[in-house]
Amino acid sequence: MEGSSSMLDAEAVADLVLLDPLTEESLVQTLRERFRRRDIYTYIGNVVISVNPYQSLPIYTPEKVEEYRNCSFFAVKPHIYAIADDAYRSLRDRDRDQCILITGESGAGKTEASKLVMSYVAAVSSKGEEVNKVKEQLLQSNPVLEAFGNAKTVRNDNSSRFGKYMDIEFDFKGEPLGGVISNYLLEKSRIVRHVKGERNFHIFYQLLAGASPQLLQQLKLRQDCGHYGYLDREGSSLPGMDDAANFHAMQDAMRIIGFSPTEVTELLQVTAVVLKLGNVQLSSSFQASGMEACSISEPQELNEICELIGLDPGALERALCSRTVKARDETVLTTLSVPQGYYGRDALAKNIYSRLFDWLVKRINASIQVKSDKQRKVMGVLDIYGFEIFQDNGFEQFIINYCNEKLQQIFILMTLKEEQEEYVREGIQWTPVEFFDNSIICNLIENNTTGILAMLDEECLRPGVVNEDTFLTKLNQLLATHKHYESKETQNARRVTDASLPPRCFRIHHYAGKVTYNVMGFIEKNNDLLFRDLSQAMWAAKHALLRSLFPEGDPQKVSLKLPPTAGFQFKSSVAMLMKNLYSKNPNYIRCIKPNDTKSAMVFTPELVLAQVRYLGLLENVRVRRAGYAFRQLYGPFLQRYKMLNAQTWPRWDRGDREGTEVLLAGLQFPAEELAFGHTKIFIRSPRTLFDLERRRQERVAELATLIQKMFRGWRCRTQYQLMRKSQILISAWFRGHRQKNRYKQMKRSALILQAYARGWKSRRLLQELKSQCRRHAAATTIAAHWRGYQARRTYRKYFRSSASTCLANFIYRRLVQKYLVGLAKNLPPLSVTDRTWPPAPYRFLDNTNQELKNIFYHWKCKKYRDQLSASRRAQLQARLCASELFKDKKTLYPKSLQQPFRGDYLGLKQNPKYQKLHAVAKDKLVMADSVRKVNRASGKTVPRLLLLTTEHLVLADPKAAQPKTVLSLSDIRGVSVTRFSDGFLALHLKEVSTVGAKGDFLLVSDHLIELVTRLYQTFEATTGQALPLHITDRFSTRFPKGDVSITVVESPKASTNGPVCKKKGSNKMEVLVWTRVWEPGQCPFTPETPKSCLHHPESDRDHSSTCVPTRANRHVVTSPQVGMVPIC
């Protein structure tokens, strides 16, 4: 092992192997001193001794976990975390399966120790969602098993009444995968009876205290513990333990492990059945034959039990009050007496609870067991009852002490084996150790022929009268000469008088001391019989869980073979446990109870001494120090003690073993006290080690003094050097300061002298400047008087001739200023249609006023144009173009002013029939309208669809929606229209074009103004040239057969639907356009009609003009000279 300073405290060594002298008193005194210091853990080599403090200590924090994580076992203070970490690292890094054996009597803290081991392993293993789930399930198995397997005893409030061995399985990385739990010898007799001051199993009190009223009603239970015969009627509450909170914690643990709600309900129902069986009361009666019989005195409890498990009450009553006996081919039904009936009832309750506990362990294993077949590493944790010596020891104590004898046997053998392996590994000669071999005691109990368990089984199976007296007689006959067995009869045979050994008892000399066992109840508890009628009744129940607990009750599988006895089963379980432990590397935790009153930090030496004896701690120490009491690796040993030799101090550059040999050679220890292994130094007696430690402490004190001396010298030298540097610095700063002050004084003196000199010079210069200023002022005054005199003389000479001009100019400027200021305050509105303007207040401002009016109007128009949208701007441009082309030239133009330019009159986008016409042109549409095409030969008109695009003009058939003619705009050479209000149009084409061979086109349109305007704009945008437009009554067109002269005549005889074309020979065509002539008095004028109207009675117009009515009773005058002029 590796030493540390904490272990070498002579008053309270941390490792009892180093205890000197080694006696029971010194061992107990060391434990007491460490306990007083709140060091509850002590080592015996790699064995941990734990003394229960009965209070919480701050030594299990996450910081402590990190302190012991991956730390050398002996490098820190003894702790249960140290052995857990050593076992875990051996498993993870060296692939060695481990087991941790926790032993000690009830109340010593075994259960808490197993929890601490499992929590530490969970804390240091890897993290992850699945890993954490496995850890949580492993840890949560404890509350469930404690609820069903722990109870309050006189020695412990949470005593485990069963042995538990858990195999925790890990993968190759050290991450927990799952586990398997094995249970041993549940104390099921506690179900029906327990000592005064103790309690039954925790689950009964937790169920009654923590279940909701609805659950209690469902289970047919009352909350009062005093109502139930199997519970302690004197007091159910336990100070410091909250049964209700523990019940909820148990339910949460079941949910985490994976119990379904149905399984939890069935589990609690079976628990309630066990509790209620204790309330089933029997009454005595006699049959006609005179034989005693029993019956149920209060059927209510029985009915509620049968209602819970789904069984006929009559069937359960028959099973409790009678018994079926099979003899050869006959079946006889015999009645039971009241004691026999109570025996059957209690046996049923014990069997139900015992089998329920086994099912619970199997169900937990089903959740936490590893499902895969991968190679696994295993760490076992054994939490089993310790050696028990009571005033009255029965069958349970006999079985428990047998198990502890086996554990002591494996401890001695494994410890000696480990010592021997280390000596062989290090090349040290093995010294045989004398120790007590308890195999003779184990053989006394477990021998297959002459062992006590074998004879007990034989007595249980023997026909005839069988009782405890016959069993004790047989033991006395076979074991009379055994030195570890005695009874009253064997003492009498040896003529030994011992009043402490009563009759009907035998005594075994265990390794931990002599224990006297009372044979009463051995036969009954070993048989553990349950009448077949009760098994069959439980199997007949409809309750799934209860039915599964009694497979032997199936009538189809009736077997006359007796079940194995309790002793045989426990012996087999112990044999399997020992085989499992032998296959693993053992680690030991020995738990000690310091007092019987469960008081915090109270140490009772007598009680501790008794436990030290039957735990064999003194013998453990002797085995550990049989050869050498202390061993340590060369490197740490040399590092700790190298200051004891001048050759190794302060630095050793060669090998650690060579340095250790040189170090110990200089200390002159006896050769038999030392042994040099391959990697470790071995020291035989603790006295040598303490001497070595004493020398080290003395040397450390010397070195500390030397270090202090050197440090003080260094500190003084450093302080002196610092003071010297400070003095030099202060002197330098002082001299500099003094020279600076002298320089400043000299500078001030020089400045004063300079100031006086400059002042004298300045005063001299000031006097000269003042005299010059006086002379200059006198000259200026004289000059001013002279200029004033000249100005007055000139004013008197010229003032009267130019005064009127100056006054006129001043008045003119004032009038202009007043006009402009007034105009700024009275500007007209910004509407472009508003042409008003304030008049000029004076005639000489008329031209200016007119110019300002024009400027203001142009500015309003520009501002209006800037606000127009692109579409509105394009529409106004089209209107402007139309005005330039037709205003005062064609009488149709005023009518077009009321009609907006729509462009698309056909609805191409809405009419899918016309959409393919647009696709013919393959460019942007400008205008689409219906026109009439004039036949060149007959003058008749046919309807056509006209599409004007940015590059083409298309004429199409309206019915078939098929293009007839497609003209390129570049093929058009001109357009001719009349000056009348008709829609006649001549489209002149170039002769070289593809369509030009057919001649010019004559068209009639209802939107002539818009059509020609858009054609004009598009032509100009496409070709960059203006389209020639002719507005005339006579023009020439080119037809395929030659040129034709067209004359347009205005006539009332023409059709109102449009122009009428008549052919006059082969080279002439006459076009009649309609107009209406109003006779005087027929014109529908109103009194408001102006005199400019032709037919007004007072009209002064030429009667050759024509009055044409327009919309809204407005009139225009059409005359050959001026065209269409609006007059009203």
Q: Are 789 and 797 in contact (CB under 8 A)?
A: no
**Residue 386: active-site member:** yes
Catalytic residue among 52, 103, 106, 393: 106
Catalytic residue among 266, 301, 317, 388: 388
Between CA 117 and CA 81 the distance in angstroms is 7
Between CA 1029 and CA 886 the distance in angstroms is 10
Between CA 901 and CA 763 the distance in angstroms is 96
User: Among all chains, which residue has been given the structure tokens 């009954």?
Assistant: 524
| DSSP at 189 | G
Q: Give the CA dihedral 1091, 1094, 1097, 1099, nearest 10 degrees.
A: 50
Between CA 996 and CA 985 the distance in angstroms is 17
**Residue 492: active-site member:** no
User: Is the backbone of residue 197 left (phi > 0), alpha (psi -120 to 50) or beta?
Assistant: left
Between CA 915 and CA 860 the distance in angstroms is 43
Catalytic residue among 30, 111, 141, 1106: 111
Catalytic residue among 119, 125, 142, 160: 160
**Residue 388: active-site member:** yes
Q: Give the CA dihedral 98, 103, 108, 110, nearest 10 degrees.
A: 40
**Residue 337: active-site member:** no
| Of 399, 508, 517, 524, nearest in space to 467 by CA | 524
Catalytic residue among 3, 45, 104, 107: 107
CA distances in angstroms from 251 to 145, 178, 254, 261, 490, listed in the order given: 12, 21, 5, 10, 54
User: Among all chains, which residue has been given the structure tokens 């006896």?
Assistant: 670
Q: Supply 984's token pair.
A: 């006649």
Q: Write down the H helix ranges in 19-70.
A: 24-36, 62-68
Contacts of 456 (CB under 8 A, 6+ apart): 471, 522, 523, 526, 565, 567
**Residue 156: active-site member:** yes
Residue type, 4: S
Local structure of 468: helix, strand or coil: helix
Local structure of 183: helix, strand or coil: strand
Residue 939, CA atoms < 13 Å, CB-side half-sphere: 17
**Residue 107: active-site member:** yes
**Residue 111: active-site member:** yes
SS3 sequence, 638-678? HHHHHHHCCCCCCCCCCCHHHHHHHHHHHHCCCHHHEEECC
| Of 228, 174, 219, 221, nearest in space to 201 by CA | 228
Residue environment code for 802-838, b if the CB has 16+ CB neighbours within 10 A, otherwise e? eeeeeeeeeeeeeeeeebeeebeeeeeeeeeeeeebe
Between CA 399 and CA 517 the distance in angstroms is 11
Catalytic residue among 179, 386, 451, 553: 386
Between CA 1037 and CA 977 the distance in angstroms is 12
**Residue 30: active-site member:** no
Catalytic residue among 50, 150, 153, 156: 156
Residues carrying an active site annotation: 106-107, 111, 156, 159-160, 386, 388
